[in-house]
Amino acid sequence: MNAHSYQSGRLNLPFVGIPTFGKRPYVGDWTQIDADIAVLGAPFDFGTQYRAGARFGPRAVREASTLFSFGHAGAYDHEDDCTYLGGEVQMVDIGDADIVHTDTTASHANIRAGVNAILDAGALPVVIGGDHSVNIPCIDAFEGRGDIHILQIDAHLDFVDERHGVRNGHGNPMRRAAEKPYVTGLTQVGIRNVSSTAKEGYDAARAMGSDILSVRQMRALGPQGVIDRIPKGARVYVTIDIDGFCPSIAPGTGTPSHGGFLYYEVLEMLQALARRHEVVGVDLVEVAPDYDHSGSTAILAAQVLLNFLGFIFHARTERAGG
């Protein structure tokens, strides 16, 4: 869109039409992705250890994203004096990976196939979960595509190796990522309070290259200070667990943990990251809408994603001298 869609005669209010992410075009044929950004839903929540419901996250976040899709030609930010996600950025929604109930292996393989299709098309993958185990096939899809560093925003370390034979639940993804030879390091921010990972997991994470910061440590460093700890020149994959935010603003999640981030703390980290690093992929997970009847958790998720995508592509244009 190079102009306001109002000029075409359609008002296209948020509650009208089919709620693809950002009301962007739907592409059902994954061999025909032609875009800068492709959004994939991963409605899988069999990896949860407490409250289920994140399978409905992609649908809720898509619907919430229509609030920010009034048909404007991009989104003008008066603080930055910049229009983000204008007509020069092409974004599509490719629907959901097929989930096979009770079958983690098949479901994760289908998620990986979706991310592979996006990467093969040269687009930025944006995956909406689902529980945090969906990050495992997302990172698997980067095999053979160069080194990456992972920035995780989360209340929990998610570094459990194996528990009762489970290796691919939502407590395992960062351990599985750290085992990959192409994952050069992890920056884990927001980790706090009583965790699902024992002390041995923290020791293992640090030994395998993790930089672990609590909410209070992040606040002491500041958003830019956190991003400055990521090695210069690293290509960064970002995984955002909605429980990284304080449940006072994001109650709709399966494992809420008080004392989390507020909106601008995360937004400023993401903006600093986009300015300093190439971002190669994003997932946002653990939105469980049934625990928040106000819908504000899904709205927060959609708003964070859309703003972050705006930052990424504005920074790419600036680096290219555009």
**In this predicted model, what pLDDT tens digit does every residue of 19-71 receive, in sequence order?**
999 999 999 999 999 999 999 999 999 999 999 999 999 999 999 999 998 66
- For 96, phi and psi rounded to 5 degrees? -110, 150
The model's pTM: 0.96
pLDDT tens-digit profile of 246-280?
A: 999 999 999 999 999 999 999 999 999 999 999 99
CA–CA separation, 321 vs 217, rounded Å?
35
Q: Give the residue carrying structure tokens 């109930």.
A: 101
